[in-house]
Structure 1
Amino acid sequence: MSSEETINPIALRDSLFTVLVRCVRILKAESVYLLYLSFLYLFPKSFYCIAYPTRRNFLNAEHPFPDKYQSDTLLPLAFTSLTFIFSHLGFIHYTLGLWSITYTLHRGRPVKLISALFNSVFVSFFPILGCVIVSIPNMVSLFNLVYSGQNLFKVIRGIEKSKMDMLDVIILLCSIQLHLELNLTPSIVVIESRGLVESMKKSSSLMKGNKMLGFMLLSIFGTCSLILGLFSAWILEMQLSLTGDLSRGGWWRMVTFQYLVQIVILSVLFMLVLLFNTVSNTVLYHYCIKAQRNDGEEQAE
């Protein structure tokens, strides 16, 4: 953070409290419809992230297929192809959820699909899709923090060795800065119907002086995502200890009803984190707009 963006700790605390309280009020007022949108659009990607270690372990299992399907190339290729397709479908679902939730919060009413389709979806959806695609490699995104939690569990348990070096640290710091610059881009795309590049520029302008507040929000939701990643890896290890070595057959014994319930519960929790994060971005957008307007009035006086 630059020196010109330093903020009084008390003011930062009050700003953070204001944003979070506003988010809670919005979630209470529109809880039913927002949950409906979340289960429809955010849950598939949430489940994909939480269940990622489980899917990887299936590759090491002995499957009850004919020998010709047990080759070292066909099964991984099929798995990789299905994973690729499902991952991108999940991001399309996530994009629709991001757009519909932000649209609902801005309009103050549920999305009317037909009118929204002709009025703004073609203007907003594709720029916001571009925004999501650009943010996929971002190491500080909530999805990648779930993966980081799953990998961190392996490091803690000694299953894998830590491979963090100076380049990883530099990439992480640059990613945090990039996230704080472009955090408001999706909200600007939907609310103001701007193009992707123009929205990115305005997001950078609005976040000046508010990066610490954005960092605090990122820390809250990022910590929750990291913890959920740790829990998902822990649940998988507990299940593997009960089912034994999957490479010797019996992979179906791993997918028990109890295990599926645990995975679904963690997926729902991560879905709620994504929902809260989306709402907070919209609230933060209005907060920054108001702060910028107040600064302009003070300079005019």
Structure 2
Amino acid sequence: MSAPLQGPPLGFWGVLTEAKRIINAHPRHFLALSTFLILSLSFSLIGYHALHRGLLRSLVTTTDILLWQSFQSNNINTNLLFFSLVYSFFVFLFSLCAIATITYSVFHGFYGQPIKFLSTIRSILTSFLPLLGTVVVSQVIVCLISLVFGGFSFLVLRGVELLGVEIEYSSPYFIGFSAVFLLAFLFVLVNLQVNWTLLSVIVVVEFNWGLTALKRSVDLIKGMKEVALSSLLFLVIFTGISVWTNSVSSIGSNNEGKNWGLVVQIVVASTLLMLLLLHKTASNAVLYVYCKVINGKLAQEIAEEFTYISLPFDDGKVPHVVSIIHE
């Protein structure tokens, strides 16, 4: 049986600290990955509303409103739909590539193995399709659960109407029922996300995908759900605040001329979100190793090999040693 790790505590900040330590050991490598794969994603997420508004204003000013009002409306809707689809496609594409490369790098860096940029990029070839298939399977499950909740609510409301009870949608009873139902639905979704925290790491490291990877993640995360939940809440809250703040700023900005203050704010927020996404993905890889040790999933001979793990630092810095005690 494996006891807790000596050194940083096995909590959210302990896992994040280990992830940060690995990133600092290879700063140029992770900076390159973040710049090519994450910065564009975080910038698009933060600046989406500003870009959306700018595109809309551009379309409106270049169309003759008086003579081509009907054509203008259709043209705007078509272009905005195309812009949204392209945006979503690149967000999804870069997300999978970022997850694959960062997870690969952190996992090898955790064991003190050399990390090369080209080999990391090549890992996308073996991880992209399994990640894509796993995402599709997980989203199908989420959609099925949503349909179950939606169908149940419809049957309840329909049954009440068949009993001759008139439903007042503004009544406190209906609002209370809707709130309880929504909270139950959110609880199920959050619980799924927590159980699937290690999903991407399992796909990249173990080459499992689909339902096998889903079951593996649920099994490994036992005993570390609080850490996974804290990591998820930290990401959601920070991202939500950043997106909301920049959305409000873009709405209240001056439509005439260039608002350099808003541009600087978007760049700063995008950089912070990029660092957050980088550390979140890295912490998942670290959490994966901790979960394997804590739950006794490592073979005894492999676990003994990990008794001392040296994390090499650049420029001759003193390596950090993680000690794992076995009982």
Q: Distance in 2 between matches of 1:101 and 1:115?
A: 8
Counterparts of 1:90-105 in structure 2 under 5 Å?
90-105=91-106
Code of the residue aligned with 1:224 in structure 2: it is F
- Classify 1:16/1:59 alpha carbon distance in 2 versus 1 (closer, same or farther; 3 Å): closer
Code of the residue aligned with 2:63 in structure 1: it is P
- Offset at 1:294? 7.7
| Correspondence 1:198 to 2:212 | yes
Assess if the C-alpha contact under 8 Å between 2:16 and 2:283 holds in 1.
Answer: yes
| Correspondence 1:257 to 2:253 | no
Partner of 1:26: 22
Counterparts of 1:1-301 in structure 2 under 5 Å?
14-58=10-54, 61=57, 63-67=60-64, 68=68, 71-108=72-109, 109-113=114-118, 117=122, 121-132=124-135, 165-239=179-253, 242-243=254-255, 250=256, 253=257, 255-293=258-296
- Classify 1:125/1:71 alpha carbon distance in 2 versus 1 (closer, same or farther; 3 Å): same
Q: Distance in 2 between matches of 1:134 and 1:44?
A: 26
- Offset at 1:220? 2.1
- Offset at 1:30? 1.8
Structure having the higher strand fraction is: 2
Backbone CA RMSD of aligned residues: 3.1
Q: Which moved more, 1:275-284 or 1:205-214?
A: 205-214
1:268-301: CA deviations, max 9, x gaps?
111111111101100110110110128998xxx8
Unaligned runs of 5+ in 1: 1-11, 139-163, 244-249
Instruction: Report the 3-state secondary structure (helix = DSSP H, G, I; strand = E; otherwise coil) of the residue aligned with 1:63.
Output: helix
Assess if the C-alpha contact under 8 Å between 1:48 and 1:87 holds in 2.
Answer: no
Assess if the C-alpha contact under 8 Å between 2:30 and 2:102 holds in 1.
Answer: yes
- Classify 1:52/1:38 alpha carbon distance in 2 versus 1 (closer, same or farther; 3 Å): same
- Offset at 1:224? 1.6
1:108-141: CA deviations, max 9, x gaps?
3434536963xx5443211112344566797xxx
Assess if the C-alpha contact under 8 Å between 2:220 and 2:295 holds in 1.
Answer: yes
- Offset at 1:91? 1.2
Q: Distance in 2 between matches of 1:273 and 1:290?
A: 26
Q: Distance in 2 between matches of 1:222 and 1:15?
A: 18
Q: Distance in 2 between matches of 1:133 and 1:48?
A: 23
Larger Rg: 2
Q: Which moved more, 1:173-182 or 1:42-51?
A: 42-51
Q: Distance in 1 between matches of 2:210 and 2:96?
A: 14
- Classify 1:214/1:38 alpha carbon distance in 2 versus 1 (closer, same or farther; 3 Å): same
- Offset at 1:78? 0.9
1:239-287: CA deviations, max 9, x gaps?
1xx34xxxxxx5xx3x433322211111111111111110110011011
Q: Distance in 2 between matches of 1:165 and 1:196?
A: 33
Assess if the C-alpha contact under 8 Å between 1:46 and 1:271 holds in 2.
Answer: yes
Instruction: Report the 3-state secondary structure (helix = DSSP H, G, I; strand = E; otherwise coil) of the residue aligned with 1:51.
Output: helix
Code of the residue aligned with 2:131 in structure 1: it is I
Q: What TM-score do the two structures reach when normalised by structure 2?
A: 0.67
Aligned pairs, number: 251
Assess if the C-alpha contact under 8 Å between 1:124 and 1:194 holds in 2.
Answer: no
Q: Distance in 1 between matches of 2:132 and 2:22?
A: 25
- Classify 1:123/1:59 alpha carbon distance in 2 versus 1 (closer, same or farther; 3 Å): closer
1:132-153: CA deviations, max 9, x gaps?
4566797xxxxxxxxxxxxxxx
Code of the residue aligned with 1:80 in structure 2: it is L
Assess if the C-alpha contact under 8 Å between 2:101 and 2:120 holds in 1.
Answer: no
1:168-215: CA deviations, max 9, x gaps?
323321110110111101001111112232111110100122212211
- Classify 1:234/1:214 alpha carbon distance in 2 versus 1 (closer, same or farther; 3 Å): same
The structure, 1 or 2, with the larger RCO (C-alpha pairs under 8 Å, 6+ apart) is 2
Divergent runs of 4+, >6 A = 135-138, 294-297
Q: Distance in 2 between matches of 1:281 and 1:60?
A: 39
Q: What TM-score do the two structures reach when normalised by structure 1?
A: 0.73
Q: Distance in 1 between matches of 2:78 and 2:195?
A: 38
